[in-house]
Amino acid sequence: MAVYTQVSAEAAQALLKHYDVGRLIALKGIAEGVENSNYLLETDQARFILTLYENRVDPADLPYFHAMLAHLHSAGARVPRFIEDREGEWLQDVAGRKACLIEFLAGVSVSAPDGAIAHKVGEALGKMHSALSGFAESRPNPLGLKAWRPFFARCDELATEALFPGLTARIASELEYLETHWPDDLPQSAIHADLFPDNVLILDGEVTGLIDFYFACTDARAYDLAVTHSAWAFSGDGSQYYDEIGNALVQGYGERVALSAEECAAIPILARGACLRFLLTRLYDWINTPAGALVSRKDPLAFLRRLDHYSANGLAV
C-alpha cells in the first residue's frame, strides 16, 4: 500500500518505447495492492497500471499469474491482462525491479456491499472457476493448510498473548482440528485465494474486474468460495455476520458452479481454515511491523471473530 521504488518519467518513457501504446501523458504512484510499487500510467491512447515487484511477490511466480490472467481473458473474464510489448515480452525491468505493464480496469471497490452486489461477486467467482477448468498450469498454495503450522511457529508467543490472552492455545487447537479434518479430495482449480472487496471492481452494480491475483494458486475451488465468504459477509472487525450477504454470495456462485455434496459438507471447515490463514498472516505482520511505521497493520482479531462465528454456527450451503 505504498510506493517503494521511484519510477521517473524518463524511465516510463523508455519502457513505453518497447510498446505501441502511445506516449506518456501522466504517471502517478498509487497506493494499491500487496507490497508492490504501483503506478497509474497514462498515455494518449490508454491507461495502464505499471507494477514493480518488491518483497512479497517472487518473480518466479509471475509466469503462472500471467498465464492464468491470459487464460481468463481469452475466456472472456474481466481481469487485467499483462500487456505484451512488440516482441511479445510482458516481463520488463524498470528501476531495478521486475515490472509489468497491466491493463487498467474501471470500477471501484465497495466498502458496504449489499445482497445484490454479493450475488454478482459470487457469480463472478463462479464464472472465473468455470473459465479456469481448462487451465493446466499449477502452483501449490504457499499459504495453504501445510503452511499454517510453520507460520504459527514464527509468531512470537509473548506478543501473541499480549495481543489477546489465550490466543496461542486457541490457534493451536484450531490448527489441530483443521489438520485432522481438512478434506483433501475436493475438486481443485486455479483459485484467486484473496477475493476481498478491495480486489473486486464494481460499476453500476456490475462486477467490472477481479484484480490482484498475486495469491492465486491451485487449491480446492470451494476454499476460494470460503475465503470470499469470510472476506465479504462480516463487518470489518468481524463482530457482525451479515447472512444476507453470505447467502447471496453462495447463491450467486452456485448459479455458475454446481457444488457437490462433498463440497457443501466441507464448506464450514474450509471457512474456518480461511479464517486461520488470515488470522496467522495478520498476526505475523502485526508482531513484526514496527508500531511507528506508516504501513497500516490489519487487525488479526477481525479474523479470530470470524473464526468464532464459523466455529459456533457453521455455514449452511
List of residues contacting a second copy (CB under 8 A): 1-3, 8-10, 12, 23-32, 40, 42, 106-112, 202-204, 290, 292-295
Element (H, E) at 10: helix 9-16
Q: How far is the CB of 47 from a second copy (least distance, A)?
A: 9
The residue written with cell numbers 470500477 in the block is 107
**Residue number with CB closer to a second copy (108 or 169):** 108
Q: How far is the CB of 297 from a second copy (least distance, A)?
A: 12
Q: How far is the CB of 198 from a second copy (least distance, A)?
A: 11
27-30 contacts, C-beta under 8 A, 24 or more apart? 29/3, 30/3
**Residue number with CB closer to a second copy (22 or 140):** 22
Q: Which residues contact 155 (CB under 8 A, 6 or more apart)?
A: 280, 283, 284, 287
User: Which pairing describes strands 97-103 and 188-191: parallel, antiparallel, or unpaired?
Assistant: unpaired
Q: How far is the CB of 12 from a second copy (least distance, A)?
A: 7
- Determine the 3-state secondary structure of 180 from DSSP: helix
**Residue number with CB closer to a second copy (87 or 204):** 204
Q: How far is the CB of 241 from a second copy (least distance, A)?
A: 21
Eight-class DSSP state of 273: H
Eight-class DSSP state of 100: E
**Residue number with CB closer to a second copy (26 or 172):** 26
Eight-class DSSP state of 204: T
